[in-house]
Structure 1
Amino acid sequence: MKITNVEGISLAVPIKNAIKAPISIPHASELEKVVFQEYRTTLVKIETDEGITGYGECMVRLAPTATRDIVNYMKPILIGKDPTDTEYIWELLFGAMMNRGHYQGFYIEAISGIDVALWDIKGKALNVPVYKLLGGNSHPKIWAYASSIRFRGMETMLATAQNFVDQGFTAMKMKIGQGSETDVMAVAAVREHVGKDITLMVDANCGYDVKTALQVGKELEKYNIRWYEEPISPDDYEGYRRLSESLNIPIAAGEAHFLRYGLKDLIVKGKVDIIQPNVCRAGGFTECLKIHGLSSSFNVPYLTHTGSSSAVCIAASLHLAAALPDCFIFEDMQSDWSKDQKNPLRWDLTSLPIKSFKEGFIELEDKPGLGLEINEDVIQKHRLS
């Protein structure tokens, strides 16, 4: 089997009514009009001479056409290659920019989407789900948490929490980072509303400095928080170490990191308790298996990150979560940036390979590859030229 075509496809859906930042970002009043102006992603479509087509996703936050153009530029390297040679192809792609310092950013996101598409092809060719190729189904039923309760005022936040409970979730995550007093008050209110039996996590999206993160963390210890996610800047490894050694709440991070090299520093220097790489940002399945080997050697659980991506990334993350034995819970993205406009790249592009969801647990189907049926109408409607 040989690769015959490679295509990067950028999609964007403008958010019609301007929104305030639903998560913590620096300089929010200036940046929110760009960062949250649209739902966006870049897909990768790879075709073969045996009629098998694979899809992947490049997790992008800005300028999806930049990642698309990188994918298309690398097409000559991929044409004629055996798509099942995932390790060899990954090293070829990485080698093109390795000695130019591109260990993160758009280039690695492009490699990630290509790699995911190749594993989709591999699974389809062998007529097995990708999770079988990654090591088998370690979790016939995957515990899932609803993500996320966003910044939308207390009444809406509590209504969102109640909606998650009504859907059957037994765990959920809420956004913090608006300010220490506001955040602690919000966490206390959500905890009181959902009760002590719901597992609750918080995510600051790097919104604090170390002293504030420590102050908030001490207050959060009162509310039985399962983990404290990205409290500070991704590269402040000394700060992460201080938090990990000072708080009784597990510290989680890693969605902003790329490849095993950055994750190694987060584990060894930052002493985090949980890592959360995104398979469509951190190098695809090929690299994430290596990241998992690294984290497991330090007894640090690997949890998948999905974020505001399309359904392709969520599906890829589900396969990884099913395969990794220490991935004890899965991030099930249930809320969009805009509360009034759903994200069609998440909800309409393809259905997820989920057989059932009951009492907080997901059971996957056993369809080949990623198990997706891409809606071409959605692609054509939202495709960028």
Structure 2
Amino acid sequence: MSSHVLQYDLKEQLGFSQKYYDTRSTHLVRVETDDGIVGWGECFGPGTIAVANATIVEKVIAPMIVGMNALEREVVWHCVYNGLRDHARGGMPIQALSGIDIALWDIAGKAAGLPLHQLVGGQFRERVPVYGYGMMLQRVDDLAARFRDEAQQIKAAGFVATKMKIGLGVKQDVKLVESVREAIGPDMGLMVDANHCYTTEEAFRVGRELERLDVNWFEEPVAPEDHAGYRYLTTHLDVSISGGEAEFTRWGWRNLLEKRALDIAQPEVCALGGVSEYLKVLAMAHAHFVPVVNHVWGSAVAVAANLHLLTAMPDLPGGAHPASPMLEFDTTDNRFLEELLEVPLDIRGQVAADGCAAPPTGPGLGIAINEEFMRHFEIDR
């Protein structure tokens, strides 16, 4: 079992409400069985977080599970969770476990000769609509103009909807959303992500403006710990409130869902505990009749895993004309989406055809890592 942290310098800084960064990074996990089957996974977290998670994978978790049966994913998962329970019921150790669990599902698919979506129950849809995530904060003179140009490019590329960042303050943020809505017109879906930068009172004021601008959802408006704030916003705003990327395991999600604190759940499979835990969270969300639109951030490994999971997601609540979940796709500078795989996913090419994308057809995740590319961008730790 090994960790691989890849990184390169961005041409210009990108930011969200909490920070700006000038490098792109990703953390991959490689697991190999005694029979020579190799599985790949990904752990959520950039930069120094990725480096720390890589150490957790190799120095903390690997000694606990090397030698166990790779096909006994639940046994492995609970061995790690119970072994770390006093220290790591969430956060970085669960992110590290997530990458290992995804790799074990990749191995299971390869051993069975089946793609991930068949392992978890089969496809409810062959293709998934894709929305383009972009318009990150940048230190430029006219950010509204930059956002307008980027939004128009995302629309022209064929994405069914788009998502933007905010976090500069209530008035300035509303102006940014107005500029993007004007650029894409009234008919394209628009989502707004605050990355938990507001108080509940501020989020309420922004939310009222987002209602006027016909925004699909208002993502992470307040701190992930503020369940009461989420509950207030879902109750008092008409715009849908989404979140959950910073929530871990079925137990964390149980608290969020039982409080009816979200209109849309956004689990992050590379963070909450991997595919094994994601399936439990999905079932629990649907049991509460809360729709799920996966949070997706990282490399082509994460995108491939999510494509499988989204095609295999049951319709909610079900009917002759169900609404499909969407795939989130990062349209900003990300070579780990475009060049990491031997055979690229070609999300942009698929989107240009019909606004949708399909998962790979091979066993497991259905992908092969370009290991020469990986070695070129791997950093020393």
CA contact (8 A) 1:353 1:367 kept: no
Aligned match of 1:245 in 232, 235, 240?
235
Corresponding position of 1:3: none
The answer to whether 1:281 aligns with 2:271 is yes
Counterparts of 1:54-133 in structure 2 under 5 Å? 54-63=39-48, 64-73=50-59, 74-98=61-85, 100-133=86-119
CA contact (8 A) 1:130 1:319 kept: yes
Counterparts of 1:146-161 in structure 2 under 5 Å? 146-152=132-138, 153-161=143-151
CA distance in 1, matches of 2:346, 2:273: 22
1:20-41 Cα distance to aligned partner (Å, 9 max, x none): x52111xx4xxx3xxx142222
Q: Which amino acid aligns with 1:24?
A: S
Shift of 1:16: 5.8
Q: Which moved more, 1:75-84 or 1:193-202?
A: 75-84
Corresponding position of 1:317: 306
CA distance in 2, matches of 1:263, 1:179: 29
Which consecutive unaligned segments of at least 5 residues does structure 1 have?
Answer: 1-5, 337-341
CA distance in 1, matches of 2:5, 2:160: 35
Identity across matched positions, percent? 36
Corresponding position of 2:285: 295
CA distance in 2, matches of 1:96, 1:363: 37
Stretches of 4+ moved more than 6 A in 1?
A: none
Would you say how many aligned residue pairs link Structure 1 and Structure 2? Answer: 363
Q: Which amino acid aligns with 1:368?
A: P
The alignment partner of 2:284 has SS state of helix
CA distance in 2, matches of 1:181, 1:171: 24
Aligned match of 1:178 in 168, 185, 189?
168
Q: Which amino acid aligns with 1:60?
A: G
Shift of 1:51: 2.2
1:227-277 Cα distance to aligned partner (Å, 9 max, x none): 110011110011111101110011000011111122122222352111111
CA distance in 2, matches of 1:196, 1:141: 25
Q: Which moved more, 1:7-16 or 1:312-321?
A: 7-16
Going from structure 1 to structure 2, the CA distance change for 1:270 and 1:177 (only over 3 Å counts) comes to farther
The alignment partner of 1:66 has SS state of helix
The answer to whether 1:164 aligns with 2:154 is yes
CA distance in 1, matches of 2:195, 2:63: 38
CA contact (8 A) 1:23 1:175 kept: yes
CA contact (8 A) 2:224 2:247 kept: yes
Corresponding position of 1:345: 336
The answer to whether 1:135 aligns with 2:117 is no
1:97-154 Cα distance to aligned partner (Å, 9 max, x none): 11x1411111101110000000001111111110111111112121111112222412
CA contact (8 A) 1:315 1:353 kept: no
CA contact (8 A) 2:292 2:325 kept: no
Shift of 1:62: 4.1
CA distance in 2, matches of 1:317, 1:365: 11
The alignment partner of 1:320 has SS state of helix
The alignment partner of 1:172 has SS state of strand
Going from structure 1 to structure 2, the CA distance change for 1:62 and 1:263 (only over 3 Å counts) comes to farther
CA distance in 2, matches of 1:77, 1:48: 15
CA distance in 1, matches of 2:183, 2:196: 26
RMSD: 1.8
CA distance in 1, matches of 2:357, 2:303: 13
Aligned match of 1:209 in 196, 199, 212?
199
Corresponding position of 2:369: 374
Corresponding position of 2:357: 362
The answer to whether 1:332 aligns with 2:317 is no
CA contact (8 A) 1:116 1:285 kept: yes
Q: Which moved more, 1:157-166 or 1:317-326?
A: 317-326
Q: Which amino acid aligns with 1:322?
A: T
Corresponding position of 2:216: 226
The alignment partner of 1:82 has SS state of coil
Which consecutive unaligned segments of at least 5 residues does structure 2 have?
Answer: 317-323
1:148-200 Cα distance to aligned partner (Å, 9 max, x none): 22224122211111111111112111112211111212222221221122111
What's the TM-score once normalised by structure 1's chain length?
A: 0.89
Aligned match of 2:225 in 211, 228, 235?
235
Corresponding position of 2:321: none
CA distance in 2, matches of 1:65, 1:195: 42
CA contact (8 A) 2:129 2:327 kept: no
What's the TM-score once normalised by structure 2's chain length?
A: 0.90
CA distance in 2, matches of 1:184, 1:356: 32
Corresponding position of 1:339: none
Q: Which amino acid aligns with 1:224?
A: D
Corresponding position of 2:183: 193
CA contact (8 A) 1:353 1:371 kept: no
CA distance in 2, matches of 1:88, 1:372: 25
The answer to whether 1:44 aligns with 2:24 is no
CA distance in 1, matches of 2:54, 2:359: 30
Counterparts of 1:248-259 in structure 2 under 5 Å? 248-259=238-249
Shift of 1:381: 1.4
